[in-house]
Every structure is written in structure tokens, then in C-alpha cells.
Amino acid sequence: MTYESFKQQLVDNLKPFFSSDTQISIQPFPHNNRLILDGLTILEPGINISPTIYLNHYFEEYCNGSDFSAIQQQILQYYHQHCPLDSIDTTFFTCLDYVSPRIVYKLIHFEKNRELLNEIPYFPYLDLAIVFYCLVPETPYENASILIYNHHLTYWNITKDTLLNLARINTPLLLPESCGSLAELIRPALDFFSKQEQALTQEILEEETIPMYVLTNSQQYFGAACILYPKVLYHISQNLRDNLYILPSSIHEIILIPASLSENPKELAQIVHDVNLTEVAPDEILSDSVYYYQQESDLVTLAQS
């Protein structure tokens, strides 16, 4: 069946599993980097939130031979595992005093999100943009957040400079940085590999001549913004006694490489591009660029090839 038929049949088949006044709908949801995904929401009576179940990859499963009824069961199971028991109070977002301690920032690519940037407050940063969101408290969903739009500033009667000042204070406090070597992060996961994969991975780690460090935040969510935290890169650079190349692994984390031990920035940029093309979800790509941190100036710049 076509994708449109797939979506309609899914809605029709799900209705008998819920009461008649349950709202089941599919709507397009914009994501980072101009990506649009179709999301299924199920709003049961008396509940004002629902997990959004994105359907695009389920249709891919169907096209690859998966049974429709099995996919439908997967979706039902996901919903019941994540459905809320109660509504949440959304009125907190109307009160600046309540919102202001939860305003934080993240980094997205400037050009790939140019249309979105017309609607939201932002500050340019290299080839990226600093944008803002509010962490939503007391929800059943991990990392629940609300993107802040220009009309929110009008409602709160604040400027984007005030927004930036709040986020500069809140983000390192609510989402503190975490930095460790890539090898240290991989080794605990080796137990889940086959013996052959463990041996191969261990060999690669031991032969790695250029140490790599992963910088993210405590939630591993929008952690690339840690490069904005005051003195974080400075202290890492001091500990390594070197300037740093910064590779944007995704919007959630970055990789740091001691500059004196690394390859030509042009080659590093090619690696970032290839990884983004093959390994990173399209809506999680930050940039194909490589950045350079100089300890003496405490500045991040685009790396010169």
C-alpha cells in the first residue's frame, strides 16, 4: 500500500482499541535541519499530552517486508509503555518567574534551519546558531522541552538578550558538562558485543594513536552546547596541554582532539562529513565543519585547512 494508505489504515485499525472520544491523529512535525516527520498522537479523555510516535521508519519496515499487524502491535506497545497517567499543568509556561530558571540553550546549524530562525530568538555562533528552550518539569517523558519562539518573548515582555543571560546561568547548572575519553566510553559497552567484535574493538582502541575525548552534558541531550560553557574548553585544554580541534559528532555531543596530534583539518572535515552522511540521523547533524580552540585566546574559530 502507499504511505498515505498506510497512515489511514493505521488510524482506522487503532480506533477499536480506545474509547470513542479518544483523538487519534497524524500530523507533520518539523525537526532540526528542515526534516519533517509524521507523528501519530493518541489523546485519551482527560489527558492533555501524548507520546508522539513517528511513523516514517515504521513504513520503511513495512516496505521491507514486515507484517502490518505486527507493526501496529509495536505502535500500541510503545504507546502503552509511554502513555501518561495524568495531564500536566501547562500554565507554568505563562509565568516568567516559573519559566526563567528552566530556560537553557542549544546549538543548531544556521543555514539548515534558516526558516525556523525567522520564528525563534537566536544568536549567530560561527556557522551555527544559539537557540533556546525550556525544560519541562515533572513529565513522564525524558528530556521533555519546549522550544522558545519570538511570540513567547512578547508574551513575557523580555528581550533575547535577557534570554541569553538566563540560559548562560541555567544551562551549566541544569545540564552540567561531562567529558571522557572515547575509549573509556566504549569499553563498558564491549560486554554486549560478540567475542570477535570485542577483540576487534579492543585492538582498534589499543592502536589508536590520536586520543579523542567526548564532551556532552549530563543528559547527553543537546550536549554540543557545552562548548559555550565558561572555561570548559579552557580547562580541558589546560589538562591536555594543547589546543583543540572540535569535531561536531551531533547536536548531542562533540569530539575533542589535541591539536598537535591530529591530522590536517581538511581530512578531519572529510571524516565529519562522511560520519554525518552514514551514521548520524539527519535531524541530529550539527555541522560538517571542524572548529579550533586556542587556549591563549580562549576562543573557538572555524578550523583553517
Range of the domain at 11: 3-82
At 212, give phi and psi (nearest 5°). -125, 145
Q: Number of folded domains in the chain? A: 3
- Locate the DSSP E strands across 18-83: 23-30, 36-43, 53-54
Residues 238 and 274 in one domain: yes
Residues 181 and 169 in one domain: no
Domain boundary among 174, 198, 225: 174
Please say whether the dihedral angle defined by the alpha carbons of residues 177, 182, 183 and 188, taken in this order, is positive or negative.
Answer: positive
Residues 251 and 234 in one domain: yes
Residues 40 and 117 in one domain: no
At 144, the amino acid letter reads A
Write the pLDDT tens digit of every residue in 208-263: 556 889 999 999 999 999 999 999 999 999 999 999 999 999 999 999 999 988 76
Residues 223 and 238 in one domain: yes
Residues 246 and 294 in one domain: yes
**pTM assigned to the model:** 0.84
Residues 143 and 167 in one domain: yes
Residues 134 and 222 in one domain: no
Residues 124 and 160 in one domain: yes
Write the pLDDT tens digit of every residue in 149-204: 999 999 999 999 999 999 999 999 999 999 888 665 544 444 545 565 545 555 55
Domain boundary among 174, 196, 217: 174
Domain boundary among 174, 199, 222: 174
Residues 51 and 17 in one domain: yes
Q: Is 302 exposed, middle or buried (0-12, 13-18, 19+ CB in 10 A)?
A: middle
CA–CA distance, 169 with 257 (Å, rounded to integer) = 27
Residues 13 and 48 in one domain: yes
Residues 57 and 75 in one domain: yes
